[in-house]
Amino acid sequence: MGDKSKAKEYSEKGLKICLELYGEHHSTVAFYYLSIGYVCRRIDSKKSIDYYEKGLKICREIYGEHHPFVSSIYGNIGEVYLDHFGDCKKAIEYIEKSIHIDMECYGEHHTSVASNYILIGKVYNTFGDIKKAFQDSEMGLKIFNEIDFYHQSDVVKSLNSIGNAYATLGN
């Protein structure tokens, strides 16, 4: 679906213009880096990480380390390391940063925290640490239940993550 190469091409043209207009350290430039990083997830994962890291650097300078937007970028980078490189250690490193920031920003009972627990549960399942996969996936589901958050796709992800841990346990 869609033409990712064309999407990247046009986004890179937009980035070039933004760099000329605003310079390297501007939120619009960061947005373009992050958008290209997202597009590159499917066509060049290494470049995806590079673009995400450039956007992260700018956002950390603009918003500081402890900002929900920065947390989101860490989570995205963690997902790329897991889904495209199978690098569970790097995925855990980035997702744990995301969880830490979200807990500082929102407290323990927030959908972002719950979603990150589910994501890190997926990583631990892939990594083969089923006990930790259960623990984190169930923590995510518990948070969703405590805040009465019944957005179906997130609860389904929680249940699926726990189910995958049980399936791995059976092997």
Measured CA to CA, the distance from residue 55 to residue 30 in angstroms comes to: 4
Q: What's the confidence (pLDDT) of residue 161?
A: 67
Give me 120's structure tokens.
């890190």
Q: What's the confidence (pLDDT) of residue 87?
A: 93
Measured CA to CA, the distance from residue 35 to residue 136 in angstroms comes to: 29
Q: What's the confidence (pLDDT) of residue 146?
A: 83
Q: Which residues of the chain have pLDDT under 70?
A: 1, 148-162, 164-166, 168-171
Give me 168's structure tokens.
């791995």
Q: How far is CA 61 from CA 9, 72, 157, in A?
A: 27, 15, 33
Q: What's the confidence (pLDDT) of residue 32?
A: 92
Domains and CATH numbers, the chain: 1-64 (no CATH), 65-171 (1.25.40.10)
Instruction: Provide φ and ψ at 100, rounded to 5°.
Output: -60, -45
Measured CA to CA, the distance from residue 149 to residue 171 in angstroms comes to: 33
The pTM (predicted TM-score) of the whole model is: 0.84
Q: What's the confidence (pLDDT) of residue 141?
A: 85
